[in-house]
Amino acid sequence: MLSGIHPILAGDLLAALDRLGHGDEIAVVDANFPAHRVAATGGPSTGASLVELPGLEAPAVVRAIRTVIPLDEYEAESALLMAGEGGERLPVQHELVDAADAPEHRVGELERFAFYARAEGAGLVVRTGETRVYANLIIRKGVIHAPDSWEAAR
């Protein structure tokens, strides 16, 4: 157990997040998402890894990840949703955007197969136990700046 770390961020998930660099993408996906296939397609050449969190809803996982991962501010879109049918966002998609704390103008949408293709290039795929459909979000990791306290310790 670590002090100051969200309890969802344990073991494999915390280690996988630690390996990501600026611009790497994290796909947080629902239980219906073909996560094993997508992670295997991205495979060793991209360093993609798969972490399974079957007992958790997607927004809770996104919220936990955002406690240690900033959003990228250098690209137009810091977060990408899988677009639902009919063009309107579902309640769970609003929850995902809220959990990511992403400004609305920095949230894009991809149709289902384009989302699958984009997730293949993610550095990390996190499959949740979320059963609500279209509960899939990709977030791009931003730069982590050194806190002032690090500079003072030198």
How far apart, in Å, do the first and last CA atoms of the chain sit?
28
Q: Confirm whether 116 is a catalytic residue.
A: yes
Position of tokens 């982590």?
144
Q: Confirm whether 72 is a catalytic residue.
A: yes
d(CA 154, CA 146): 12
Q: Considering the candidates 22, 36, 74, 101, report the single residue annotated as catalytic.
A: 22
**Backbone conformation region of residue 130, classed left if phi is above 0, alpha if psi is from -120 to 50, else beta:** beta
* SS3 (DSSP) at 28: strand
Q: Considering the candidates 24, 30, 72, 134, report the single residue annotated as catalytic.
A: 72
Q: Considering the candidates 30, 116, 134, 148, report the single residue annotated as catalytic.
A: 116
Q: Confirm whether 6 is a catalytic residue.
A: no
Active centre residues (catalytic): 22, 72, 116
